Structure 1
């Protein structure tokens, strides 16, 4: 999107002019959006054309005028989805035209049209996404927006192409490891170094950079692992079910790869997770206590049921969550405290924030890890 004087131009033929005179010409279009915006017809009669057009189009116009590129349009469209799908579609369409390499934009347009029951337009933009190289097959396969289209030839063709591309793109990325070692000044124990396995939250990845150094300063090797499925970007992953065995396998493969690089103490492998990764970390300790020595659970969350039975005994578990988190996260934190209460040592703290690390995490998390490893002194 480029600015030329007082004219903001997108891909032809869509041109939005600043000023009230141009907005009046959109009156006919905006009348159809009145109901979607929750403006009653009686109220609409008390408004002039400018007022109606402004109320209907202002979020879209604001997104178009204030976004520098397609990425910013995507962010704004995502925010609009929860309030008005038509407005979100308009901004996703702008992103689709703005960047002809953009895959997620036409995908989102297709999903929103499918959600509204417009199957023809949904299929049209699925084809656009496919032509641009749609590759996130697992997400497409499980997307409930397309439930009514799954038996159509268009959807089956697009899905097959996306699954083939996913297999190539995800190779070497799913389950990939990232390693952060303790400083060389910390002596290596006789039984080699302990390992802290980091299980990330939904939509990010397992890369451990220098910001995690306070954890490595405890003497533990920090091992980050990418989730078991890529979502819709090459740096965006999740831990998939059903159950937690896929995550356990990924962690064990990561530890095997790390052990081929340096000596590690397999009896002192600790888990640390956040959100979805935290739920999986707690489940792994409960179901495979022979492989893990303890777990640091930060703001656990996720859509799977939390395990109700634990085989863990003699383990150390530290649960941390924010006071401002949602009810589901609060409940899961309580569930894990209860799950490990029998035969294990459990510590628990809350911070004043929401669903994120505590502000003092660079100090508090290493202290929690030292407690689990028995090296507080």
Structure 2
């Protein structure tokens, strides 16, 4: 049975949806699709350039590492969480920066972590040495390529990530201890022995949900303590009622981007 479509009503509904849901109106296509090739390996990534981008000017850079659920090769899913944070009109005007969202392949991981999920266990064993995973090595290479093109304010390079990406954030810090001015790891974790490698350089704001049953909040608590002991500039925010998706609380945190973009290497 066919139905007549009231196009006037349909357009009204769409307009109202944008009016009452401003994030829906933000265009993720502003993040350009790009690829980076290194040693015959390819990294998909999306990049958002500042409004009125000036190629002769140097800008801060934010690397954003997604979680395990956004892995793949479509060069789209990695924008699921966090991308709209940087499309906000206020953010675009107050914090002009190059925002990079790489995508990890389905069968890999950002951080060098050993898992034991056998017999009801859910254990993560974070490494403190060894080679980076191929996707993380590509991310490091991508950042170096941008720096080499003279696009980057090297005193204001930042990294943030959630879940698997929170773990990758911590790992990028200890593998590149003189690179990042600020970092925001969300519901992640790392080997606390690595904290002293970057404690003197990088300001860190850690987030976690107290009711997280995917990545235990003790991982973030341990890293907070390790960074405190190493005399780092570190803050920790734990949301008492939040589960694994503590990134929703984090993105709504007042002053989040102001804090991040205020960090600078000396």
Q: How far did 1:298 drift?
A: 0.6
Is the contact between residue 111 and residue 171 of structure 2 (CA under 8 Å) also seen in structure 1? no
Q: Measure, in 2, the Cα distance between the counterparts of 1:327 and 1:289.
A: 28
Is the contact between residue 279 and residue 306 of structure 1 (CA under 8 Å) also seen in structure 2? no
Q: Deviations over 1:322-368 (max 9, x none)?
A: 12213852111112212221232111212232111444544427x22
Q: Deviations over 1:159-212 (max 9, x none)?
A: xxxxxxxxxxxx99852221112333xx87996111110111113147337624
Does the C-alpha gap of structure 1 residues 252 and 208 become closer, same or farther in structure 2, counting only changes over 3 Å? same
Match of 1:308 in 2: 193
Is the contact between residue 180 and residue 216 of structure 1 (CA under 8 Å) also seen in structure 2? no
Q: Is residue 253 of structure 2 the alignment partner of residue 364 of structure 1?
A: yes
Q: Is residue 220 of structure 2 the alignment partner of residue 333 of structure 1?
A: yes
Q: How far did 1:261 drift?
A: 7.0
Q: Measure, in 2, the Cα distance between the counterparts of 1:190 and 1:180.
A: 17
Q: Measure, in 2, the Cα distance between the counterparts of 1:199 and 1:253.
A: 15
More strand by share: 2
* Worse-matched range after superposition: 283-292 or 192-201: 283-292
Unaligned ranges ≥5, structure 2: 1-38, 72-76, 114-126
Match of 1:93 in 2: none
Does the C-alpha gap of structure 1 residues 220 and 335 become closer, same or farther in structure 2, counting only changes over 3 Å? farther
Q: How does 1:131-210 map to 2 (within 5 A)?
A: 175-184=43-52, 192-205=58-71, 207-208=78-79
Is the contact between residue 177 and residue 254 of structure 1 (CA under 8 Å) also seen in structure 2? no
Q: How far did 1:267 drift?
A: 2.7
Match of 2:207 in 1: 320
Is the contact between residue 322 and residue 354 of structure 1 (CA under 8 Å) also seen in structure 2? yes
More helix by share: 1
TM-score, normalization by structure 2: 0.60
Unaligned ranges ≥5, structure 1: 1-170, 232-236
Q: Report which of the two structures shows the higher radius of gyration computed on alpha carbons.
A: 1
Q: How far did 1:321 drift?
A: 1.0
Q: Measure, in 2, the Cα distance between the counterparts of 1:198 and 1:172.
A: 23
Q: Does the residue aligned with 1:250 lie in a helix, a strand or coil?
A: helix
Is the contact between residue 297 and residue 319 of structure 1 (CA under 8 Å) also seen in structure 2? yes
**Considering only aligned residues, what root-mean-square deviation do their CA atoms show, in Å?**
3.4
Does the C-alpha gap of structure 1 residues 188 and 208 become closer, same or farther in structure 2, counting only changes over 3 Å? farther
Q: How far did 1:369 drift?
A: 3.1
Is the contact between residue 55 and residue 151 of structure 2 (CA under 8 Å) also seen in structure 1? no
Residue among 343, 347, 372 paired with 2:235:
347
Q: How does 1:1-377 map to 2 (within 5 A)?
A: 175-184=43-52, 192-205=58-71, 207-208=78-79, 211-212=84-85, 213-214=87-88, 217=92, 218-227=95-104, 229-231=105-107, 238-239=109-110, 241=112, 243=127, 245-246=132-133, 248-259=136-147, 263-301=151-189, 306-309=191-194, 310-312=196-198, 313-326=200-213, 328-341=215-228, 342-351=230-239, 352-364=241-253, 367-374=255-262
Does the C-alpha gap of structure 1 residues 182 and 191 become closer, same or farther in structure 2, counting only changes over 3 Å? closer
TM-score, normalization by structure 1: 0.44
Q: Does the residue aligned with 1:340 lie in a helix, a strand or coil?
A: helix
